Structure 1
Amino acid sequence: MGNPPFFFTFRCFVFLLGSLLSLATDTITPATLIGDGEKLVSSSQIFELGFFSPGKSKYKYLGIWYKQVPDTVVWVANRNSPIVDSNAVLTIGNNGNLVLLNQTDGIIWSSNLSREVKNPVAQLLDTGNLVLRENFSSNTSEGSYLWQSFDCPSDTLLIGMKMGWDLKTGRERYLTSWRTADDPSPGNFTFRLEIRVLPHLCIYNGSVKLSCTGPWNGLAFGADPTNTSYLFRPIVEQKEDEIIYRYESYSSRILMMLKINPSGDVQRLIWHEMSTGWQVFFTAPNNFCQLYGYCGANSVCSVDDTANCECLKGFKLKLQNNQTWPRECVRSHSSDCITRERFIKFDDIKLPYSVDVSLNESMNLKECEAECLKNCTCRAYANSKVTGGDSGCLMWFGDLIDVRKITGYNNGQPIYIRVTDSEPGNKKLLWIIVVLVLPVVLLPSFYIFRRRRRKHKEKENMEANWDLLAFDINMSITTRTNELCEADGEGNDKSKDSWLPLFSLASVSAATENFSTQCKLGEGGFGPVYKGRLLNGQEVAVKRLSNQSGQGLTEFKNEMMLIAKLQHRHLVRLFGCCIEQGENILIYEYMPNKSLDVFLFDPKKKRLLGWQARVRIIEGIAQGLLYLHQYSRLRIIHRDLKASNILLDSDMNPKISDFGMARIFGGDELQGNTKRIVGTYGYMSPEYALEGLYSIKSDVFSFGVLMLETLSSKRNTGVYNSDSSNLLGYAWGLWKDDRAHELMDPVIKQDEVSLPMLIRYINVALLCVQENAADRPIMSDVISMIENEHLNLPSPKEPAFTNSKNMNNSSHSNSGTSQFYSVNDLTVSLIYPR
């Protein structure tokens, strides 16, 4: 682009001003500029704007990135116009536009305002949005911006950004991938909000559709793999002037972004306050079934170990000898409306892509069925919304494209597909049997039934109560969750997610070979645990309440109520329950390596836990506990954290289990007390064991014990020298004598261990087991201390439960100020030995 006559003078002027001004600010005015090496920083120090060179690139670009994660660039101005030297500057031109200037090429990039602005100012906001506005305007809302970077997204969708359509201007906001990791110019892949009667989210490779979610159902996009509802809330707004998708975070402590990478994968990335790297919460597409139309029309894709395609009910393969997918599935009968037809319900389905579909938002499901049945070309119907009961009517008229079976916790919906009533004459025969034959059979059966009913009335009443318990359990989950969410100011429209699948006793018995001893994995306070295999091949752990168990219906109900709402990579996943015929059974994901204590306290197996494995286990437990205390929508106190309740998956990743003793805190609750002390000796904090007081600091104490056990492979309840009665006293003695490194399990090779890291871990563990709860850190501080090697740690005091401590004279506080509490009269004490 050529230089106008005034350009040289103007450039010299702004360069002269730039050399005199210091820009430790978040704004640019016509009198200031940003040169290479200088930055704008948002007011809360979250985002920076400046020049950068990605990867191995020799070019410069103007971009925005997270201040604490400089490598994570979220927006690039001059994607198509790289800068070849270090002489470019960003400033505000004479006409009020933001401009990127270069000595050789003139204006490289501009905000391209169509009108002149008299008193402009540009500002980098804490949201990551670079905005241009009138300097004298007191209105700083989005509507007052003359220009904003959020309207020109690159490859990243931040909190507060919009994807979708401005219906007034026809502008579409969408994400475009970088070409490569070193080249931010627009790549081949885009991520868009597509409007086909209802909104979908779709990934494109050029003009080719690569992957799509199901339609928006009022709560989420169908089959959306994100399902991290405890972290963020997806929002679709359909207004007169725009249709957009955005999301909001439930926690200001979490950095979050949605990104399309150069290979076409869309990822949601999370950075916790104390993290050292981005956590990938989902990637799409991550299997063949998520590829658009992978199986072809009128077929369904199911993911087991591999993608499995088959024709939908009512359809058949057109060519039987074709062995590769996509294959063509056609109607099972030759023409519509010639034979009698009905609908078959399919649960947990990603609804078909909206190629030829109609929507009637006023119809309920029954009306939708009748309307679809009247129209011979209607292939299927479903609700358009999952909120408000049978709400809205979607009807498909052409081929059913991109249908897949949904597993796990993703957002599947029921769909009703039209099929032929292949044997209508048999229904007449059936009625003849019912009217003539059935009474003859029923009369003696009724007599026998009456006798058995009188004989077993008590048993039948008990079994009837289990149905009430199932309802009560699910209602308790929903009610308690909603109460807490309302108290926190959050919506309660997600209560549908709390209902747990109920397994039949027959299916659970079949999965465990009738609870055979060969399938038994072990036994805990709850009862025996069996390995099972469901009909779909899924391996599960089946936990069956024993009649002799110290735990009962209260703990059983409590565990289901909590885990139904908790989702985290370091928490065990609950598939469902069975409460038939007096049984209390929980069905969990199967953990092939059992529990942590199996390895730690076995002379041979502990050799399988190297230094890195132990570090990964400690950090994983800490992350899971932090989620329970701070990041879940419900604040959870576990109250029984111990090595046997830490399960290990096939990669030795830890998962916290057994929530039967856990308690929910809502609102501003910080602690509770109880006269029924439950838990495991050796892990309970002093204020809980002696006074019945529990809080998040109680779990921190248990975590400190668990850290010391994991590092040393020693039980806390053991005796290790004449001066100490347990592991805490032994560790404290070594710490005082500057011999803390001797605590490390000797089976670990010395060249594997980072000595400073080991000392830091022991220091943190001792801080966690302080006698006074106020002296213990919270879990976010714990994670910061174990991950930040440059952080100066406080020195621990003598921990609780050592021989030299008189616990009866101790004070306990959870608020940070020491304060005395009266000791409760402990009428019931259930302390389970290990």
Structure 2
Amino acid sequence: MKGLPFIFTSLLQFLVLQLATAADTISPSKPIIGSDTLVSSGQSFKSGLFSAGNSSWYLGIWYNNFPDVVVWVANRENPLADSYGSLTLSKNGSLVLLDQMNNSVWSSTSSQVAEDPVAELLETGNLVVRDKAATASEIYIWESFDFPSDTLLQDMKLGWNFRTGHNRFLTSWKNDSDPSPGQYTYGMDNVPLPQLVIAKGAKKQFRTGPWNGLRLTGTPGSSVSYEVVHPIFVYNTTDLYYSYEAVDKSVVTRLKLSESGIQRLVVNKGSTTWAVMYTLQYNQCDNYGVCGANSICKINKSPVCECLHGFVPESWNEWGVLNWTSGCRRGTPLNCQKGEDFLRIRNVKLPDQLDFRVILSTSIDECKAECLRNCSCVAYTKSDIGKGDSGCLMWSGALIDMREFDEDDREQDIYIRMPFSELGKSSRKGKRVVLISVLSAVSLLIVLGFSCWYIILKKRRKKRASRDSKEDLELPLFDFDTIATATNNFSHTNKLGEGGFGPVYKANLTREEFIAVKRLSKDSGQGIEEFKNEVTMIAKLQHWNLVKLLGCCIQGEERMLIYEYMPNKSLDCFIFDQSKKALLDWRKRFDIIMGIARGLLYLHEDSRLRIIHRDLKSSNILLDDELNPKISDFGIARIFGRNQTEAKTKRVIGTYGYMSPEYAIDGKFSMKSDVFSFGVLLLEIVSGRKNRGFHHPDHHHTLLGHAWLLWNKNKAILGKTSNVIRGVHVRQRGSNIASTKGAWFLHRKKFHGYG
């Protein structure tokens, strides 16, 4: 009798183990009903009925540790009215979802039949139907991976099975709480050289470049993920698909499609938070054909669109108001005569394949010769850099959807056909370059003769200049050793951030006294003049909403500014952060806006000097311990006379996206330039969205252009990113903020079309 409890316990454990091992499969005699679920063998995925928040119920698959992250939905177009449903497996191997009246609302379809079928949720997240005796993927009767929802998991394939004619592509949810099919799809574009495309209905919204033998081109941001995942591309007589496999087994990753584009999300195993690794359709230049035909998008320029060399706008009037959709045409037509050649454009996203040829196994020189022989050929490049630069791509007609990338992005070059007259211009430029190079070499020899003399003279002047600088600045001077000790020898852990001037460090002078140290970088684009400018300017300014300069350090080559410490760093750390933005309710945002406005008014009207800041942006607004705003970074600010209204410079410096159009294009700046920047900042604070990088599914405007459209329709700019501030009633200040927005938009009207 004493052994009975032990026997009973062992039997119970055996039964539990049997149930656990069977929990990843169903059979014709064992459906899942109601709240029952399948769990994959390694406990990574779970499948069952769920409600997305719209009161309807769906059969889905989700991460076991992240129940809210649904990766697949079966009955997207025909939901259950309640949770009383069941998933059954028929004797021929079809999965059938039944409602409580036993009506079929969804079923799997397959031309194959199983003798002894079983459905299994695999550790990959794939729900498969197979014969009980079979395990190989080649003999799956049906699998959920062939019918993706809005998520691409490892081992899923995006593309075509030519044997069956089946195309696998992602389809977005209608919204965050409705899994029914949305307007957006992401899949393989079956063109001569395949590429991935986001489409809204039949209209392209974004595309990658073609596969170049190593990776999909035109998506340099995605290269950051190659340490985590390895891309796979297969193109043969039976298959055309894109997939990926994990490189780093310590992380879990997925691709998700929404109206904002494609995101690669990752989470470390054991962590509870997903992080965005990169986003496709991230900025204005990612929007398909934003600049029209025969043009190129340059995200670091303003305006972002330019005609290709030798081309002019199709409509000067439209380009004048930054509407580029009409594109560009050749200034001098091609005539297919001798003398025509090609202009190399480096590091670009290749044009779309609208009128296009692929020639395999040919050299780049043979490709050029073939293009010259073909009068309709307007451009060419290499096709497969993964196989010794073999193959050739040739375009005819218009060149659509090109963009320029940074040098570090290592994208491809393209060769554009040019008439002799345009090449002559380039040739004359080349001769001037050669002449300048020769003269430079001669000058270098002369300079070397004076080098020794100059070094000696420089050493003599250095001590005198350092002494004079200290005397001119009229500020408390800090000792370098003191600052080095306070910043833990400028350690990375003390680093708060970095700007054009150089890095900023947190320094601890005493146990309770902290300061911020701005150290001039030796390779900074700014230099001694900006340093002196900032010191001289801020030393003469005193206002609650301007950052306070406590002193400076000048010792040898070192130049440092000492500021009051701002524990909450800069405004952009709050308004663009998904968790921190919740700390800024409407009242606090309003106070920040008014604080910035007061500081700007002081600079323009109330201080002894009239100051034009020229670089007002969210990262230059610091927040103290009570989240009060302080305008900072006066390195490129300019002093105006009391009667001066405008100035002009050939050196346009600042931050694109915050610059007024007349400053970015013509170099003209004034108080209005700061007001324009303040308007951009105001919109970012209210909406929680960045002006640059803003994306909207219905148009290609920046945040400014979007706000202008809403303003004309008398709609609010608050979006779903601003739930934290929606609905808060501000009684006394409501009319004031409306007046502030209205006044700014009246000012904005002068720049109609910019954005």
Q: Which residue of 1 aligns with 2:355?
A: 356
Query: Structure 2 regions of 5+ residues with no counterpart?
Result: 1-17, 453-468, 473-477, 491-497, 504-520, 525-546, 553-560, 581-617, 624-755
Q: Which residue of 2 aligns with 1:109?
A: 106
Q: 1:105 deviation in Å?
A: 4.9
Q: Counterpart of 2:305 in 1: which secondary structure?
A: strand
Q: Deviations over 1:258-292 (max 9, x none)?
A: 1112x252111111224332111222322221111
Paired amino acid for 2:29? A
Gap change, CA 1:294 and 1:576, over 3 Å in 2: farther
Q: 1:576 deviation in Å?
A: 14
CA contact (8 A) 1:36 1:89 kept: yes
Gap change, CA 1:361 and 1:49, over 3 Å in 2: same
Q: Which residue of 2 aligns with 1:26?
A: 24
Q: Deviations over 1:272-329 (max 9, x none)?
A: 2243321112223222211111111101111137651111112122332333221231
CA contact (8 A) 1:189 1:264 kept: no
1:605 to 565, 578, 587: 565
CA contact (8 A) 2:92 2:117 kept: no
Equivalences for 1:297-336 in 2 at 5 Å? Answer: 297-304=293-300, 308-323=304-319, 324-336=323-335
Whole-Å Cα distance in 2 between the matches of residues 207 and 102 of structure 1? 34
**Aligned: 1:288 with 2:288:** no
**Aligned: 1:204 with 2:199:** yes
Q: Counterpart of 1:209 in 2: which secondary structure?
A: strand
Q: 1:94 deviation in Å?
A: 2.6
**Aligned: 1:256 with 2:253:** yes
Q: Which residue of 2 aligns with 1:483?
A: none
Paired amino acid for 2:86? V
CA contact (8 A) 1:177 1:188 kept: yes
Q: Deviations over 1:607-633 (max 9, x none)?
A: 5569x999x99x99xxxxxxxxxxxxx
Q: Counterpart of 2:67 in 1: which secondary structure?
A: strand
Q: 1:406 deviation in Å?
A: 1.5
Q: Counterpart of 1:383 in 2: which secondary structure?
A: strand
Equivalences for 1:742-821 in 2 at 5 Å? Answer: none
Q: 1:408 deviation in Å?
A: 6.8
Q: Counterpart of 2:365 in 1: which secondary structure?
A: helix
Q: Counterpart of 1:172 in 2: which secondary structure?
A: strand
Q: Which residue of 2 aligns with 1:49?
A: 47
Paired amino acid for 2:264? R
CA contact (8 A) 2:347 2:407 kept: no
1:169 to 164, 169, 178: 164
Q: Which residue of 2 aligns with 1:151?
A: 146
Q: TM-score, normalised by structure 2?
A: 0.56
Equivalences for 1:60-459 in 2 at 5 Å? Answer: 60-137=57-134, 140-224=135-219, 225-228=221-224, 229-261=226-258, 263-304=259-300, 308-323=304-319, 324-338=323-337, 340-407=339-406, 409-410=408-409, 412-422=411-421
Gap change, CA 1:219 and 1:119, over 3 Å in 2: same
Whole-Å Cα distance in 2 between the matches of residues 376 and 174 of structure 1? 38
CA contact (8 A) 1:176 1:190 kept: yes
Gap change, CA 1:187 and 1:427, over 3 Å in 2: closer
Q: Counterpart of 1:227 in 2: which secondary structure?
A: helix
Q: Counterpart of 1:369 in 2: which secondary structure?
A: helix
Q: TM-score, normalised by structure 1?
A: 0.51
Whole-Å Cα distance in 2 between the matches of residues 413 and 432 of structure 1? 27
Q: Deviations over 1:723-770 (max 9, x none)?
A: xxxxxxxxxxxxxxxxxxxxxxxxxxxxxxxxxxxxxxxxxxxxxxxx
Paired amino acid for 2:238? D
Q: Deviations over 1:315-371 (max 9, x none)?
A: 122332333221231122234224622211111110000111111231222222222
Paired amino acid for 1:395? M
Q: Counterpart of 2:194 in 1: which secondary structure?
A: strand
Paired amino acid for 1:167? F
CA contact (8 A) 2:333 2:419 kept: no
Q: Deviations over 1:371-418 (max 9, x none)?
A: 222222211111112334433211111110001112375452111111
CA contact (8 A) 1:380 1:416 kept: yes
Alignment RMSD (CA, Å):
4.7
Q: Counterpart of 1:321 in 2: which secondary structure?
A: helix
Paired amino acid for 2:356? V
Whole-Å Cα distance in 2 between the matches of residues 431 and 131 of structure 1? 63
Q: Counterpart of 2:369 in 1: which secondary structure?
A: helix
Gap change, CA 1:403 and 1:31, over 3 Å in 2: same
Q: Counterpart of 2:160 in 1: which secondary structure?
A: strand
Q: Deviations over 1:28-55 (max 9, x none)?
A: 1222111121111111110000110002
Equivalences for 1:706-745 in 2 at 5 Å? Answer: none
Whole-Å Cα distance in 2 between the matches of residues 33 and 21 of structure 1? 14
Whole-Å Cα distance in 2 between the matches of residues 77 and 346 of structure 1? 47
CA contact (8 A) 1:268 1:281 kept: yes
Q: 1:603 deviation in Å?
A: 9.8
Q: Counterpart of 2:88 in 1: which secondary structure?
A: strand
Q: Deviations over 1:683-703 (max 9, x none)?
A: xxxxxxxxxxxxxxxxxxxxx
Gap change, CA 1:335 and 1:417, over 3 Å in 2: closer
Q: Counterpart of 2:288 in 1: which secondary structure?
A: coil
CA contact (8 A) 2:91 2:116 kept: no
Q: 1:239 deviation in Å?
A: 2.0
Whole-Å Cα distance in 1 between the matches of residues 183 and 565 of structure 2? 50
Q: Which residue of 2 aligns with 1:776?
A: none
Whole-Å Cα distance in 2 between the matches of residues 430 and 180 of structure 1? 54
Gap change, CA 1:252 and 1:214, over 3 Å in 2: same
Paired amino acid for 1:93? S
CA contact (8 A) 1:205 1:264 kept: no
Whole-Å Cα distance in 1 between the matches of residues 176 and 423 of structure 2? 62
Query: Structure 1 regions of 5+ residues with no counterpart?
Result: 1-19, 459-515, 530-537, 544-574, 579-592, 621-647, 654-834
Equivalences for 1:578-657 in 2 at 5 Å? Answer: 604-605=564-565, 607-608=567-568
CA contact (8 A) 2:113 2:141 kept: no
